[in-house]
Copies of this chain bind each other. A is one copy, B any other.
Amino acid sequence: MIFLNSLQNKMGAQTELILKTSSLSITSSRKKILEIFLSASTALAHQDIEKLAEQYDRVTIYRTLQTFLDRGIIHTIPTTDNTIKYALCSDDCITSGHHHDNHVHFLCDQCGRTLCLDDVSIPAITLPKGYSMKEINMVVNGICKTCME
């Protein structure tokens, strides 16, 4: 029990730190949504968060996700099925002002989970003359490790 409280406190401290670092006021919905991301092993859709944070209004969740995106706390993952998934940015992302995610994302066709493959970086490409690159996304569909076993 003491142990659990300690964990809870640690998580609480972490979420408050993230919010402070981004100059955001500390509110219970923001902390809750950050906690959800921190304990999730996969990227989450808006709907996933709605289910895990039922006490908060749908609109609040929309606005909170947008705020987190603006501050670079989370990033979006484009998918082929018209659902945006959100995931926490790595420490690098969060601390640096400008967002620069550089890993590949994986969508499992079987379990439906979306994973950040933090260790697989996106290879460089050469664009035709006249094009300037700002962001790059690489998304792979297939079967994930867990589902293969």
Contacts and interface: CB of A to CB of B under 8 A. Distances in A.
Contacts of A80: 76, 78, 84, 135, 137
- Give how many copies assemble into the complex: 2
Contact of A131 (B84, B122, B142): B142
Nearest to A76: B80
A104 interface: yes
A58 to B, nearest CB: 16
B138 A125 contact: yes
A136 to B, nearest CB: 5
A137 B81 CA distance: 13
Interface in A90-149: 104, 106, 109, 117, 119-120, 122-145, 148-149
A120 B130 contact: no
A62 B44 CA distance: 26
A14 interface: no
Interface of A: 76, 78-80, 82-84, 104, 106, 109, 117, 119-120, 122-145, 148-149
